A and B are shown apart, each in its own frame.
Chain A
Amino acid sequence: MAEGSNYDYLFKVVLIGDSGVGKSNLLSRFTRNEFNLDSKSTIGVEFATRTINVDGKTVKAQIWDTAGQERYRAITSAYYRGAVGALLVYDIAKHATYANVTRWLKELRDHADANIVIMLVGNKSDLKHLRAVPTEEAKTFATENELSFIETSALDASNVESAFQTILTDIYRIVSSKTLEQSSDPIKAPTSDTIPVAIDSAAPASGSKCC
């Protein structure tokens, strides 16, 4: 399993949002290019990874897909710790899932690192005839709350790649600029290559990109 060590950065990202908005399908679309109309509900958390290229660097995303049901909140919020990014997903065809975004933001404030990068994701953009949340409204909300914003469809794959690419790039930019600021410090290698990079203690992972 040495496959895990060929990267420059390792970022832990969480997928959160109401049950049924399509978090698991976004993840399977991004990591395996799969979509399932009748996927099973997520119990607790599920984990997947994918490595992408950002500004010439190899960035590995370690993604935790969480269960949306309220009852699991106690379990899932433990996974926010150490996450440098969060995709907060709602369903563009179900207004209630958008209305709940505020509650999810509070969850993040309560349990995640203060400078976690958050992206608001309106999923199921293929359901045009059922749209209940106008794009502009969500965009404005995102700007007001300093979130980036994108609409995706796990079904037809539109913007899925772009959503992950954007948040990982944002994280990378923050992390690498911090590393520059602190360039007098010696670059610390994490003790284990599976420990995610936290924004506060930003440092490139000890990727074994030898010769």
Chain B
Amino acid sequence: MVVGDFDPDESEQTHSNKPAPPSTLKPDVDKIVNDPFVSIHKSTEPEANNPPKAVRSASPSDSAKLMRERSIRTNRRLRFIECLRKDDINIAELRKLAWAGTPSTLRPVVWPLLLGYLPLAAPARSATLTRKREEYRSLVELAFKKERQGLDQQIWHQIEIDVPRTRPGTRLWMQEHTQRSLERILYVWAIRHPASGYVQGINDLVTPFFQVFLSAYIDSDPEQFDAALLPENVRDAVEADSFWCLSRLLDGIQDNYIATQPGIQRSVKRMAELVARIDAPLYAHLESESVEFMQFAFRWMNCLLMREISVQNTIRMWDTYLAEGTDAFSQFHLYVCSAFLVKWSEKLRKMDFQGIIMFLQSPPTQDWDDHEIEMLLSEAFVLNSIWHNAQSHFGAK
């Protein structure tokens, strides 16, 4: 859909120059819809799909390292499964495991558990899922029962403009079915939250959930999936689960989206205070070039860095955020943003106003791999543990 030069950032990332791979549905989707845990109860075999992209062509000297990495992964996976198989899941244990990253096939159950959408107690799960999905369905019916004229025009208008601009160029998101689901999720959320309504950027936040939930039912890449292949009940389940998980995430950062966006203003201010302490030379340089934190960090807060990094990276990042608790999307995130900024300190200190702004509004981080995200998360962890208590003291500046 691109005329003129193509912006190479997103769509090509995972499948450069290859035709869209076939979309394959798992054979037992109907079982999975009713009990997302089926795969956990039967699985003992190590994760076969999703090899990390960095090790595709390893030299012989790398192969020992590769084997070691693989066995670490298998071990981690087994520990997850052990934790998830318990009738009453120990949430502290699950958080600890998830902090360091959740295996991709387990995310569709781990994320809703961490968000409190799925009950920890096994017997309650199926009934809860059925009830929540039913509830979402009636919310949708209620919201759309009066056809188009009955909609809140202002909210609907903005959603209509933004849906086709969500993950442009990515097959999954350019399809009719997915776009209609996204529209419903956004609209129902918005009218239930009149203080904020729909705010641009929230559309981005739906995509990790939707892709993770979709991945439970398919054996191919969610981003390249042909949504027409999904049975209706599965599509409804993916949509409803995404809606409820999005709602829980947003509950923790509502302040970001209400009038004047005080949550973001606060976070940006605290971020500036923090950077002044952890990297005084950078802070001084930004100040001398008249660069304001708001000029670049606003978007980092508003879209949780989703405009700066890939969805794959975001999903890995959310493993850790969700393990920290929904607070992390405002609290821990500010440490992540600070670490993200000071990472470029040396470069930035050699740039002038224009250079700094141009660099920070499109940093070279679109094809980061998991390793780079994990480095960032551990830097943020260190900052958080050093400064979190101190922040209340220097808030009075």
Contact = CB atoms under 8 A, between A and B. Distances in A.
Interface of A: 1, 4, 19-20, 32-49, 62, 67, 69, 71-72, 74-75, 78, 155, 192, 194-195
Contacts of A4: 352-355
Given A37-B2, A41-B162, A194-B354, A74 B261 contact: yes
Nearest to A78: B294
Contacts of A39: 165, 168
A75 B294 contact: yes
A192 B290 contact: yes
Nearest to A79: B295
B4 interface: yes
Contacts of A20: 161
Given A36-B168, A43-B298, A71-B261, A49 B354 contact: yes
B357 interface: yes
Contacts of A195: 290
A13 to B, nearest CB: 14
Given A34-B7, A43-B298, A67 B353 contact: no
Interface in B1-27: 1-5, 7
A33 B302 contact: no
Given A34-B7, A38-B165, A194-B289, A44 B1 contact: no
Closest 3 CB pairs of A and B: A38-B168, A1-B355, A194-B353
Contacts of A48: 358
A69 B259 CA distance: 12
Contacts of B95: none
Contacts of B299: 43-44
Interface of B: 1-5, 7, 158, 161-162, 164-166, 168-169, 174, 196-197, 199-201, 203, 257, 259-261, 289-290, 294-295, 298-299, 302-303, 307, 350-355, 357-358, 361
Given A34-B5, A35-B4, A67-B200, A40 B307 contact: yes
Contacts of A45: 295, 298
Nearest to B170: A38
B1 A43 contact: no
A194 B298 CA distance: 21
A41 B294 contact: no
B274 to A, nearest CB: 20
Question: Max chain B CB contacts within 10 Å: which of A46, A67, A72, A194?
Answer: A194
A69 B158 contact: yes
Nearest to B199: A71
Contacts of B302: 43-44
B200 A43 contact: yes
A69 B261 contact: no
Given A37-B3, A47-B361, A69 B354 contact: no
A47 B298 contact: no
8 contacts: A1-B350, A36-B168, A41-B203, A43-B298, A71-B196, A71-B261, A72-B261, A194-B353
B145 to A, nearest CB: 25
A178 B126 CA distance: 75
Contact of A44 (B3, B298, B352, B358): B298
A36 B7 CA distance: 8
Contact of B1 (A38, A49, A75): A38
A135 B146 CA distance: 36
A169 B295 CA distance: 27
Contacts of A78: 294
Nearest to A67: B200
Contacts of A72: 200, 261
Contacts of A46: 361
A200 to B, nearest CB: 19
Question: Max chain A CB contacts within 10 Å: which of B2, B161, B354?
Answer: B354
B200 A69 contact: yes
Contact of A75 (B158, B261, B351): B261
Contacts of B165: 38-41
Nearest to A37: B1
Nearest to B299: A43
B158 A19 contact: yes
Contacts of B3: 35-37, 155
B48 to A, nearest CB: 34
Given A38-B174, A67-B200, 19 more contacts: A19-B158, A19-B161, A36-B4, A37-B3, A38-B1, A38-B2, A38-B169, A39-B165, A43-B302, A45-B298, A47-B295, A47-B358, A48-B358, A71-B200, A72-B261, A75-B294, A192-B289, A192-B290, A194-B354
A20 B163 CA distance: 12
B179 to A, nearest CB: 11
Nearest to B10: A40
Given A32-B5, A43-B298, A194 B168 contact: no
A42 B201 CA distance: 9
